[in-house]
Amino acid sequence: MTEPSETTAEAATLLLRSPRWSVSEVMELLEIGDVEFRRLIEADARLARVLAARQEGQVVIGLTERQCVVCGESFSTATYRNHCGAAACARVSKLNR
């Protein structure tokens, strides 16, 4: 058997942070079985923490609070975006890259 990939572990972690996806749905989507999923949990501490939090009924959102580099307004994001959701800020941010 092959070792679980980091990409699969990352995808499972991201999907399972959402309460909309069940563990069985994620396994089906990623086309992995029970054995491979258990290996993923053993190999990836973040995935194990997300599953533990789900079992305790906690919501794992992963949002961070940031300040827009263009307008200075505070915003929350789960991505590495450095600008708020305003269209003008997005355009200016693209120009700065």
Residue type, 66: R
Q: 37 and 68 share a domain?
A: no
User: The tokens 């789960």 sit on which residue?
Assistant: 78
Q: Is the overall model pTM greater than 0.85, yes or no?
A: no
Residue 1 domain flag: no
Residue 32 domain flag: yes
In this predicted structure, the answer to whether residue 62 has a pLDDT above a threshold of 70 is no
What's the rounded mean pLDDT across residues 77-97? 81
Q: 10 and 44 share a domain?
A: yes
CB contact at 8 A, 63 and 76: yes
Q: 10 and 37 share a domain?
A: yes
Q: What is the number of structural domains in the chain?
A: 2
Q: 70 and 44 share a domain?
A: no
Return the pLDDT at 63. Answer: 64
* CA gap 68, 43 in Å, rounded: 36
Question: Which among 53, 7, 12 is positioned nearest to 29, based on CA atoms?
Answer: 12
Domain hosting 72: range is 64-96
Q: 44 and 79 share a domain?
A: no
